[in-house]
Amino acid sequence: MTFLPSRLAMNTLAMSTLALGALFPIAASAQASAQASAQAGPTAPVFTPGKLSPTQEVARGVLKELVEINTSVSTGNITNGALAMAKRFRAAGIPDSDIFIGGPRPERHNVVARLRGKNPAGRKPLLLLAHLDVVEALKADWSPDLDPFVFTEKEGYYYARGVADDKAMAAIFVANLLRMKAEGWRPDRDIIVALTSDEESGPFNGVDWLVTNHRDLVDAGLVINEGGGGVLRNGQPLFNTIQLAQKVVANFTLHVTNRGGHSSVPRDDNAITSLADALSKVGRYHFPVRMSDVTRQFFTETAKQETPAMGRAMRALVANPADAAAAAIIAADEKYSSMLRTTCVATMLSGGHATNALPQLAEANINCRMYPTDAPDDVRRALETAIGDTAVKVLVKSQRANSPAAALSAEISQPVAQVTKELFGNIPIIPTMSTGANDSRFFLTLGVPAYGVSGLFSDPSVDARAHGRDERMGIKSFFEGQEFLYRMTKLLTTNPPTIP
């Protein structure tokens, strides 16, 4: 049975000139699901506390194994994680010829496994991407009863470094691939699982390395990556998201030199004073509000979920991005403020060479998260203007290439809408721009659509702990995410899509 009813196909076609207009025709997709299935609303719960299914036991075991292997950038070893997952692929019967382990350095290996499809020549593979590396974590910084590298189950949560970012997705991709292999299921195109190094901060980004050195291994028609997820409010699913775009990282150096001298004879011109003045101006400077197709859609949809005052402000800003009062209301909420504009913030500082000398050099690092349409040179000029002091040089220290936003095709929006409805009921699906960065950018730059979708739900008011203390993942959310990605993977690799 063809999943797309003609009416939906026409909707999609008619709106295809708008990058996001075809986005989630929620009402139409709900109708499609109703036609495709007798089920109204969510199916039976996929998770019962204390009673894991065999495939859930596997996912839990993989997650435990992964988080207990320290893969942080300076104290860990990513290869150990890659080898452990390769062992699981091999044990499941995936031939050695379809498992690759490698990387630019011995402790920075990636693992790539492939489940062969029936007709791999017909459609380019589906790539399921997750990173194995994690942000550093010190036991002393965590609650006394938790160790960041010990998998701990407590009060409905799994705790450990990486349970949210990004080992939940890695474990789920592995467990689901093993499940499909055990079922003897043959997708209509290859499914590739790539678990990679140095997404967070290390210098040997695994996706970059694979794309440059082994393009064939990760050559795909569509990529599913971290960056999306669902939002819970009071434990109930509020909406699901697909991440389509991301901001761009650039670092600038504020650089001030001075002839210096003896500190007993100070002058008005002083490198540290100039730098301090400049930093204080940068700290108060706000870049102009920007609006893209993705953020316009985001604020339009999120307005419906928000408090009346916030909803009004979001609608007002979409109607008129110059509405400063509306922007101020939105910017007061840190969940949203960084989505409004390019942001720049001082992150490191150095200066002076002796307690009794006038400083000859003072420097600060300014970390900027640029709106994808802003150019580094424009940002540099804006900083210079805000500082207004020619003694302070603004230098580009590092900049990443802009990556385009992924267009939201029916190929991805339909499976996400269908499985969201099956598992979480009639909730909206909202496109997002990540204010951080992830590895989807490497594929987007190559023109390969890469989406942040996970079906992993969390409550940002209590669960936003990635990179921080006591990182955790709701156990129910983990297994719902597993089922979500399992069903979505099947829909994305079945042609025409059918319900698995």
Q: Provide the minimum distance between the beta carbon of 290 and Zn ion in the complex, in angstroms, as a whole number.
A: 24
133/422 with CB nearer Zn ion: 133
190/226 with CB nearer Zn ion: 226
166/293 with CB nearer Zn ion: 166
The strand pairing partners of 148, in sequence order, are none
128/316 with CB nearer Zn ion: 128
Interactions with Zn ion, residue window 346-385 (CB under 5 A): none
162/359 with CB nearer Zn ion: 162
Q: Provide the minimum distance between the beta carbon of 451 and Zn ion in the complex, in angstroms, as a whole number.
A: 15
What are the phi and psi torsion angles at 212 (to 5°)?
A: -75, -40
String marking each residue 63-102 x if it binds Zn ion according to CB under 5 A: ----------------------------------------
- CA atoms of 483 and 50, how far apart (whole Å): 17
String marking each residue 206-225 x if it binds Zn ion according to CB under 5 A: --------------------
**Do you find a cis peptide bond into 166, omega within 30 degrees of 0?**
yes
Please name the residues in contact with 157: beta carbons below 8 A apart, sequence gap of 6 or more: 472, 473, 474, 475
- CA atoms of 398 and 253, how far apart (whole Å): 9
Q: Provide the minimum distance between the beta carbon of 131 and Zn ion in the complex, in angstroms, as a whole number.
A: 6
- CA atoms of 130 and 226, how far apart (whole Å): 7
Instruction: Record the tokens describing residue 71, joined without a space.
Output: 């893969």
Choose which of 81, 123, 134, 165 interacts with Zn ion (CB under 5 A): 165
- Count the site residues for Zn ion by CB under 5 A: 3
State yes or no: residue 471 binds Zn ion (CB under 5 A): no
Instruction: Record the tokens describing residue 146, joined without a space.
Output: 């938790």
**Contact region with Zn ion (CB under 5 A), list: 163-171, 388-396, 409-417, 490-498:** 163-171
- CA atoms of 245 and 294, how far apart (whole Å): 7
Q: Provide the minimum distance between the beta carbon of 226 and Zn ion in the complex, in angstroms, as a whole number.
A: 5
State yes or no: residue 439 binds Zn ion (CB under 5 A): no
Provide the angle, in degrees to the nearest 10, between the axes of the packed helices 410-424 and 475-492. 140
321/455 with CB nearer Zn ion: 455
**Contact region with Zn ion (CB under 5 A), list: 69-77, 161-169, 242-250, 392-400:** 161-169
Q: Provide the minimum distance between the beta carbon of 243 and Zn ion in the complex, in angstroms, as a whole number.
A: 11
- CA atoms of 223 and 445, how far apart (whole Å): 13
Q: Provide the minimum distance between the beta carbon of 169 and Zn ion in the complex, in angstroms, as a whole number.
A: 8
Q: Rounded to 5 degrees, what angle do the CA atoms 272, 273, 277 make? A: 115
Cα 250 to Cα 30, 77, 207, 345: the distances in Å are: 41, 28, 20, 11
Please name the residues in contact with 65: beta carbons below 8 A apart, sequence gap of 6 or more: 84
**Contact region with Zn ion (CB under 5 A), list: 164-172, 241-249, 343-351, 444-452:** 164-172
165/198 with CB nearer Zn ion: 165
Q: Please say whether the beta carbons of 131 and 195 come within 8 A.
A: yes
- CA atoms of 339 and 314, how far apart (whole Å): 12
Instruction: Record the tokens describing residue 19, joined without a space.
Output: 């990058």
Q: Please say whether the beta carbons of 204 and 103 come within 8 A.
A: yes
Residue 375, class by beta-carbon neighbours within 10 Å (0-12 exposed, 13-18 middle, 19+ buried)? middle
Q: Provide the minimum distance between the beta carbon of 201 and Zn ion in the complex, in angstroms, as a whole number.
A: 11
Q: Which residue is nearest to Zn ion (CB)?
A: 166
Interactions with Zn ion, residue window 223-262 (CB under 5 A): 226
24/158 with CB nearer Zn ion: 158
- CA atoms of 439 and 264, how far apart (whole Å): 52
197/493 with CB nearer Zn ion: 197
Q: Provide the minimum distance between the beta carbon of 412 and Zn ion in the complex, in angstroms, as a whole number.
A: 20
The helices-and-strands tally (H runs, E runs) of the chain is: 17, 19
State yes or no: residue 166 binds Zn ion (CB under 5 A): yes
130/192 with CB nearer Zn ion: 130
Q: Provide the minimum distance between the beta carbon of 162 and Zn ion in the complex, in angstroms, as a whole number.
A: 9
Q: In the 8-state DSSP scheme, what is residue 405? A: P
**Contact region with Zn ion (CB under 5 A), list: 34-42, 68-76, 114-122, 157-165:** 157-165
Q: Provide the minimum distance between the beta carbon of 466 and Zn ion in the complex, in angstroms, as a whole number.
A: 7
| Rg of the chain taking only CA atoms, in angstroms | 24
98/136 with CB nearer Zn ion: 136
Residues that bind Zn ion (CB under 5 A): 165-166, 226
